[in-house]
Structures are given as structure tokens and as C-alpha cells.
Chains A and B, each alone.
Chain A
Amino acid sequence: EAGVTQFPSHSVIEKGQTVTLRCDPISGHDNLYWYRRVMGKEIKFLLHFVKESKQDESGMPNNRFLAERTGGTYSTLKVQPAELEDSGVYFCASSLTGGPSEQYFGPGTRLTVT
């Protein structure tokens, strides 16, 4: 069974540009989460999808970030326009159910904004 995949693995962009990160969850996992780890800080929750519906997006930093999960399969996270402080590792995770169930993490996308 394939795990959670994320694309790209690395992205280097200039301040003001747009970047779109993609996450493919494990097949059949309705729950999908986005997290971010800024260097030296803890992993921060961004949002939680159940199928195509956003259940909790309280962790999204500001309106420069837009997450979508059309069709309830893969998800994208767009940052537009990117700022220096957006640099970090963006993780996606998926789980079969919400709550106390195992979240399987993808390998992450390392975003560098210069």
C-alpha cells in the first residue's frame, strides 16, 4: 500500500511568487491534515479536511494560504504571495478516521522563500 506522498520534495522561490504544494493521502483515508514546521519551532497544525470539507482551518496563518481538496482525494496548499517567514517544512498527513487514530505523515515539502 502506498503511503502519503507529497510533491515537490523541495521548492525554492522568491518572495512574492506563488507556490502550490500537493499531497496525495493513503487511498481510502477521508481525513487529511496539513502541518508546518518552521526551523527551530514545533510542528504547527494548519487545517483538517474530511473528504472535501474543511473541518478546522484555525491554524492557517493568513489569507495568503489556500488549501483545497476537490473531490476529496488529493489536496493542494497554495501560498500566494510567498513571504520569507513562510519558509519551512510542510507536512501532510492522512488518517482513516478522525480523533484517536493514527495519522500517517508524508515526507514533507521543504519550502525556501528567498
Chain B
Amino acid sequence: QKEVEQNSGPLSVPEGAIASLNCTYSDRGSQSFFWYRQYSGKSPELIMFIYSNGDKEDGRFTAQLNKASQYVSLLIRDSQPSDSATYLCAVNMYTGGFKTIFGAGTRLFVKA
């Protein structure tokens, strides 16, 4: 079992729709959870992070965390073609230092 699992996709949604991206993690000691966006050939850029159960909203993005189910999700409202990218879920745990484990990513296509 991978430490952080994501559906590789591609996930295709029409412009204006809600895109829902999901992620599960295996280590219950995980403390904080991140969503990154990565365009082809570029480095990851942080969308948002969450560390408490529940929802966290930032503009068109909502992150949801359920620690009991070891599940993190990202909702993108009013999806735009510019949102087309690979979305990486990452989990951070304290090991004496801070170790971040990435999922393989979900490719999202937003059709105009």
C-alpha cells in the first residue's frame, strides 16, 4: 500500500463545473495535509494546506480533511481551463524533522 494514494486520472470536467480530487493516506501520525498544483515541466506550487478535521475554504478551493477515514479532498468550484494541471496531495509528519510524502498526482482537464 502506498503511503499517499490518489487516482491518477485524468479527471475531465467542463468549464464552470466542480472538480473533486481525492486522496487517502496510511500513516495515522500524519499531521498536516497539502494540495499542490503542478503544471507540466514546472515545479509544484501550494494551493492550500489543512491540519484540522473539517473544511477549509480559500477562494474557489475547498480542502476537506477526515482523519478518522484518513481522507483528504480538494474541491475546485467554477473550474477554469487554466486549472488544468496535475494536483498533488502531500502529507507531512513529524519525525524529528518534517517529512513530506507526496502522492503520484491526479491529472485534471477542464474543457472550455
Could you tell me which A residues sit within 8 Å of B by CB distance? Answer: 31, 33, 35, 41-45, 47-48, 50, 54-56, 58-59, 91, 98-108
Contacts and interface: CB of A to CB of B under 8 A. Distances in A.
Q: For the side of the interface on B, what is the size category? A: 20 to 34
A108 B42 CA distance: 8
B102 A105 contact: no
B95 A56 contact: yes
B103 A45 contact: no
Nearest to A43: B102
Contacts of A108: 43
B88 interface: yes
Given A42-B104, A43-B88, A105-B45, A98 B99 contact: no
A45 B97 CA distance: 12
B98 A56 contact: yes
B31 A41 contact: no
Contacts of B94: 98-99
B49 interface: yes
B62 interface: no
A101 B98 CA distance: 11
Interface in B37-57: 42-46, 49, 51
